[in-house]
Amino acid sequence: MEKGQVFALTAHENIFSETAEMLDLWQSHSHGDILEIYATNEAGSVASFSENDPNADDDPVPYLNRDGNISNGMMNGREKLVPGDRLTWVPSYESRTFQNSVVFEADCYIQIIFRTWSPSIEEHGFPLLLNDFLYDSTWPEAHESVYHSLHLPLPRSWAPRVGISEEWGEFGNNPQDPDYWLPQLKVKKRKSKA
C-alpha cells in the first residue's frame, strides 16, 4: 500500500435494493502497509473491529513461522466482508491522475487484516487504525469511483451483515488457528519408514 490510499466498503441492504450503501471508509497511513485478504466459507471465522464481533481483537496470524518467533507486522485493522460486499480501492490524492480504482466483490466470507511496520501515531499517542479516515473530503476521482461502485448491478451472491440467524451463522464465534489462514504454518508430517 501507499500512504493515503483509500478503501470504500459498500453493500446492498438486501437483494431488492436498487443501489448499495456506503458502510465504511478505510485509509492506509504509511507506505508499505499491507492489506491481507483471507477467504473462507464460514461466518464464525471472520470478525470485525468496527462491529465489535467476538475475538476481533485477536491477531489471526501473529507469527510468520512455525516456531512462532518471527513476528508478523502490527495489526492495525481487522474487518470482514460478507458475500455481496464490494470493496473499492481508491488511489491516494497524489496518485489520482495516473492510477485507476479497482472494485473487489466478495462471493464468500472474507477476513481483512491490515498491517503496518511503520505505525503512524495520532495526536494523543495512539497508532492510527485502518478505520481512521483523515481526509476532510474526497477528491473528484475518488468520488466518481465510489459513485460507480454504489450503482453497480446486484452482486452475484449475497448474505446479511446484521440480524443473521442460525442459517447464516454468527460472526467471530469460531476463531481459527494461524495455519488455517496461512497454510505454510502447518507442521510438516514426517514420512514413515517402510
Closest CA to 114 of 100, 93, 128: 128
Residue 56's pLDDT is 95
Report yes or no on whether pTM surpasses 0.85.
yes
Residue 30's pLDDT is 94
**Half-sphere exposure for 95 (CA within 13 Å, toward CB):** 13
The neighbouring-strand residues paired with 80 are 111
* Distance from C-alpha of 8 to C-alpha of 89, rounded to nearest angstrom: 7
Residue 184 — φ and ψ, nearest 5°?
-60, -20
Roughly how many angstroms between the first and final C-alpha of the chain, as a whole number?
50
Residue 12's pLDDT is 94
Q: Which residues in the chain come in under a pLDDT of 50?
A: none
pLDDT tens track for 12-69: 998 888 889 999 999 999 999 999 999 999 999 999 999 999 999 999 999 999 999 9
Which residue shows C-alpha cell 440480524? Answer: 163
Are the beta carbons of 42 and 133 closer than 8 angstroms? no
Residue 166's pLDDT is 65
For 32, other C-beta atoms within 10 Å of its C-beta total: 13
The three cell numbers of residue 66 are 512455525
Residue 164's pLDDT is 63
